[in-house]
Structure formats: structure tokens, C-alpha cells
Chain A
């Protein structure tokens, strides 16, 4: 079978006070209900009780979004270098190795071609567990490739964002990925095919301030935190507590930043319909 069958084992944090056995049960961060982990997984990592959206792994995301057995990964072997020879408390490449092990991914972005209800598309997603989905050269390269592939294959592009922003350890080169990916979109616009950007929790910093908010159509999952600055930075700057729901999907919809909020289980249908209209 395809390599894509591999699934991330559902990870429940060892929460002492909750005493929920890891793996079998999952406690909802939204309503507090404890559900059978397998049921949560079947519901695409949403709470069967209240619909709360847990974070979902990148591979599970693509596997559940695209048509079964239609997926070809692109750029799977791309890995970061260490152009700055960056070292904080750890060396950058040591952090990368550790992240590769814990996230079971070579980098923070997975790019693939596949089909959505029969229509060939280019799809990509962040893997948030890999260094907080931070964007360095590899992520920027793969996002750029997504638009180049879309242009070349005359196919729509869907990207799922989940990122804290630019990756500090690649310094200025991380920053430059914002320009690179945005420039790639500018070219892709000539293809006549749409780019649908799906914002998931969280999408902030340099990812929000570049390709993620450049979708022809911008969709957000319910309750996702999306913004330029993180809430803590804003609180420190203005020295006040932020209102409830600030920077959440519903707030963004109210302020005209996004087109719609779509629950994870409806994403396939809604985006397929969008492509039907636009492509």
C-alpha cells in the first residue's frame, strides 16, 4: 500500500489531573467531554460532542482531504541546511533532527498532487508538530513549488496553514520565503485557476502575512487563531488584556478578513464546490 497509509498515533498529553488513559480516550479542550479516541479520529480530529477542532497531523489532513489512492508526494526529500550555523541553546540542525524524530516528518510542510472528487489538484499542508510549523527555506520552497506545479499542470491549489510564522533559526532566509511564496502566487494568478487557502489553528506571523492570506478564496476552520502578531506580543505592546475571541475565525469573518468558516468534515464538499464554480 501507499506510504501515505501511515498515520500519526493520536497523542494525548499526560495530564495528571485528567487521568485519561493515553491513546484510548481523548478529552476535549472545548467542552471537557471525554470521548473514545478512535471516534475522535473518525470525526477527523473533531469532538463528537461539541465539534471542537483538535489539531490534525499533516499526513492525516491530506489523506482525509484528497481522494483515496490519488496522492503523490512532491519534494518529499527536501531538507533544511544550516546557512547561518545557528546556535542558541541547541544547534539548529540538532533541533531539526529532534523535530524529525518527534514529528515523524522530514520538515514542516507536505506537498502533494492528488484528486479532489476526481479533479486533479495541488495540495499542501503544514505539519504543526514540526517546530511549530515554522517556515524556513524548505517550507518556502515547497509552497513555491505548489504554485509552480499548479501553473504547469493547470490545476487549482489548496494549502492548509498551521504555523507560528517564520523560522528564526534560518534568519533572513526565512523572511525571504514570504517574498518568494507571494511572488509565486502572483505568477500562478495567470493560470486562471484558483488558490484556496485554508487557515487552521494557528496561522500567524510570516505565514499569515504572506501566502496564507493571499487566497482567491480564504476559508478558516472554526475557532482557529489567525493574525499577524500573536496575542501575547499584542498584550505586551498595548498592556491590556485582549477581548475574548480576538483573532479567532469568527472575529476574522466579522472583520472581513476571510470568506467563510467551514468545519473540517465539510471541507472536501465545500472546496470541491468552489472549484466547480471557479475552475
Chain B
């Protein structure tokens, strides 16, 4: 295990013990076999047999304990702990899912303008036999890979490539799947020079108009505008221990709590977990992770992602192109929490006295809180 999370440690400790016992058992097995071959001391063999059974029952007991402990720990993770899981370096990334939940992946490169951004991966793939366009942020696991992928922080080229790929999908009637996992769009000189804000904005508008089904899944870190840029979907899903936020807890803490060390409090205040966002209407479905988090069982996480995507897409492909656009508009149009206040005291007195008041109520489209 390359990186252990503090709260995972008791479980990992148990698992180490189990492994040791298993090794011991395997050793005894071998020894017993050798001894038997040589046809020596029937009595010793029997004694070994007894302790083997004890060993096995001990392993079973520890395994049960580990399972219970994992269940206990992961059922009451704090928001800050979930942030740690979401950022775990062993967590499956876009390319991992492309190998496991999808088949026949063909990567597409470049924004046809300036370059190819390895922080966003785009390409055609099959989901349970059907072709789709997959677009996802890509972090690296090694230092070298992270330098190449820029820690999953895209530059404008990445967003322009993503939008280009979406339009290819639209042209050929393919559904689009986006996998969100980024600390945020990259804040650098070159990125600004090449219009980072504009590139993100174009993605948002472009996605809103797509005439094919779009499903987005937050698979790890949903960091602000750089995440949302590929998240204007008909359905937004979230893995159980992923996060999605307007700002990182650290960033929020340094601005509002005047100290980045208050990130834990900021994580609570921001309400950035899957259940939080479901309650706020931002997320449609939470995908259950393997016990102990997706990083503990990549194949199971991939199977669940595949199932969830397949279920959502099977419904969406029944909709007509214009219905898909309208559906997406309604979905995002409804997000927000506003109230129509009374005429305020700070309204100038002239306005309240009527007569020449040139005020009219807000249009009927105004929504209340969706929650």
C-alpha cells in the first residue's frame, strides 16, 4: 500500500495480520506435505493438523473483524475523511475505468488549435457493446506521470479538445460519458493567455446544446469550474466517496477562515459529499463504492460504474434530441435557492408611495429553493 489514510490504519493492520497468518498457514501446508512424503511421524502430522485448523479459524475470525471494522469506519466517515478518500492516489482514474468498465478504447488527441492536453483524456469506447464518447480528467500516479498530466488540472486546450470530442459524438449520434476528477482548471500564465475562462465557458454553453445523451460521473475530485466544464449533463452521478465543490476546502479555509489549516471545518461548511449534493438536487444518483473505498477494489468499482452508466443511458437514448436539450436545461435551470423578499426598507421611499413607481414583480419563472 503506497499511501495509508489515518482512519484506514486499523483495518490495514488487521489485514496485515491476516496475511501473515495466511503465509504461516501456507508454510505449514508445505512442511506437512514434505513430512508426509517422507512418511515420517504420523503423530506430528496430526498435531500440525490441529494447529492448522486453529490457524484457519483465527484467520476467519480476523477477516470477519476486518470486515466489520471497515463497515463501521466507512459508514461514518467525516466530510474531511471523504475528501482524503476522493484524493487517494490508488483510486481508479479515468484511464483505469477505460480499461475495466469500457472496452475497445480509441483515444482522440488535440484541440486542433494549439496542442493536446494530457490532463483530459477523450476517446471512443464501448460500454456493454455500445459505442460512446468518453471524456475524463486524468491524474497521474507517479511524479513523472503527474508532471505530464499536470495533476489532472487542464489547460484551455484540454477543454477545447473535450468540446471538440463532444461535437464528434453529436455528429455521429453517440452518447457522451464524462468522468470528473480534477483539483480544478490550471491557474497559470499560459492558460490565462490562451483564454482559460473562455475555454471553460464555451464548454458549458456547448454541452447545454448537445443533442445526444450526456451522463457525467464525479469519480474523485470535482474541483470547481474546471470540473463543471465537462459536467453539464442530463444525469449527474457521483461515486459514494467522491467530492464536488465550488472551491477546495483548503482554498475556502484560507479565504473565509483566514487559515488553510481549518480545511476540515471548511469541508463541513461546503457540504461537498455525495449525500449532501443529492439533497441539494445537484446529483441524481450515488454509486455505491466497494467496502473501504474504490481504491481497495478496482474491478468491483468498475462493474458498479458500468452498471450505473448503462442504466442511465438506456433511459436517455429513448429521448429525442430536442427533448435531451430541454431536459438538460430544466435540470440546471432549477438549481439555486432564492426567495422573493418583501418590499425592502431600503427601497427608496418614492417607490413605495406608488404613483410613478416603475417597479414590477419578477417574472413568474422565478423559482424557490429546489430542496
Identify the A interface with B (CB < 8 A): 1-6, 71-84, 86-89, 100-101, 104-106, 137-138, 140-141, 144-145, 148-149, 166-180, 182-187, 204-206, 208-214, 226-229, 233-234, 237-238, 242, 246-247, 255-257
Q: Are B232 and A145 in contact (CB under 8 A)?
A: no
**CB atoms of A178 and B225 under 8 A apart:** yes
Nearest CB of chain A from residue B86's CB, rounded to whole Å:
14
Instruction: Give me 28 A-to-B residue pairs in the complex whose CB atoms sit less than 8 angstroms apart, sorted by A's number.
Output: A5-B348, A6-B348, A76-B359, A77-B343, A83-B280, A83-B337, A86-B269, A88-B256, A88-B266, A89-B256, A89-B257, A89-B258, A105-B346, A166-B225, A168-B252, A170-B246, A171-B245, A172-B272, A173-B336, A175-B246, A176-B336, A177-B335, A179-B232, A209-B229, A212-B197, A214-B201, A234-B187, A246-B192
Please tell me the number of chain B residues within 8 Å of chain A, measured between CB atoms.
Answer: 77
Q: Are A187 and B338 in contact (CB under 8 A)?
A: no
Nearest CB to that of A106 among chain B residues? Answer: B344
Complex: A101 Cα to B346 Cα, angstroms: 8
The reply to whether B358 and A73 contact each other, CB–CB distance below 8 Å, is: yes
**Assembled-state Cα–Cα distance A1/B358 (Å):** 9
Interface residues as binary, B244-285 with A (CB distance below 8 Å gives 1, 0 otherwise): 111100001001111000000110011110001100101000
Q: Which residues of B contact A87 (CB under 8 A)?
A: 269
User: Which residues of B have CB within 8 Å of A141?
Assistant: 336, 338, 366-367
Q: Is A214 in contact with B205, judged by CB distance below 8 angstroms?
A: yes
Q: Give chain A residues whose Cβ lies under 8 Å from the Cβ of B341.
A: 77-79, 106
> How far, in whole Å, are A2 and B359 apart by their CA atoms in the complex?
9
Chain A proximity mask over B67-105: 1 for CB below 8 Å, otherwise 0: 000000000000000000000000000000000000000
Contacts of B343 in A (CB 8 A): 77
Contact B196 A172 (CB under 8 A): no
Query: Apart from A3-B358, A74-B360, A183-B333, what are 4 other A-B pairs with CB-CB below 8 Å?
Result: A1-B350, A148-B365, A183-B208, A186-B209
Closest-by-CB residue of B relative to A105 is B346
**Does the CB pair A187–B198 fall under 8 Å?**
no
Which chain A residues lie closer than 8 Å to B311 at the CB level? Answer: none
B146 at the binding interface (Cβ < 8 Å) = no
Q: At the interface, yes or no: B50 with Cβ under 8 Å from chain A?
A: no
A4 touches B333 (CB 8 A): no
A172 to B337, CA, bound (A): 11
Candidates A3, A89, A184; contact of B359 at CB < 8 Å: A3
Alpha-carbon separation in the docked complex, A144 to B221 (Å): 28
B66 CB to nearest A CB, Å: 34
Tell me whether B224 is interfacial, beta carbon within 8 Å.
yes
Establish whether residues A213 and B339, one from each chain, have CB atoms under 8 Å apart when the complex forms. Answer: no
Closest to B346 in A: A104
- CB atoms of A242 and B204 under 8 A apart: no
Q: Across the interface, which residues of A come within 8 angstroms of B165, CB to CB? A: none
* B367 shortest CB reach to chain A, Å: 7
CB-nearest residue of chain B to A6: B348
- In Å, the complex CA distance between A84 and B265 comes to 13
User: CA of A187 to CA of B332 in the docked complex: distance in angstroms?
Assistant: 13
CB-CB under 8 A from A71, the residues of chain B are 358
Residues of A contacting B142 with CB < 8 Å?
none
A2 to B228 alpha-carbon distance, docked (Å): 41
What 0/1 readout, one digit per residue, does chain B (333-369) give for beta carbons within 8 Å of chain A?
A: 1011111111110111011000011111111011101
Closest to A254 in B: B193
How far apart are the CA atoms of A228 and B159 in the complex, in Å? 13
Chain B residues within 8 Å of A234, by CB? 187-189, 192
In the complex, the answer to whether A183 meets B245 with C-beta atoms within 8 Å is no
Contact status of A3 and B362, CB under 8 A, knowing A137-B336, A183-B208: no
Known: A1-B356, A182-B204, A214-B205. A77 touches B333 (CB 8 A): no
**Nearest chain-A residue to B225 (Cβ)?**
A209
With the chains together, A187 CA to B326 CA distance in Å? Answer: 10
B355 nearest in chain A by CB position: A1
A149 touches B363 (CB 8 A): yes
Which 10 residue pairs of A and B lie closest in terms of their CB atoms, listed nearest first? A229-B187, A137-B336, A3-B351, A182-B204, A183-B208, A75-B362, A88-B256, A208-B197, A228-B197, A228-B196
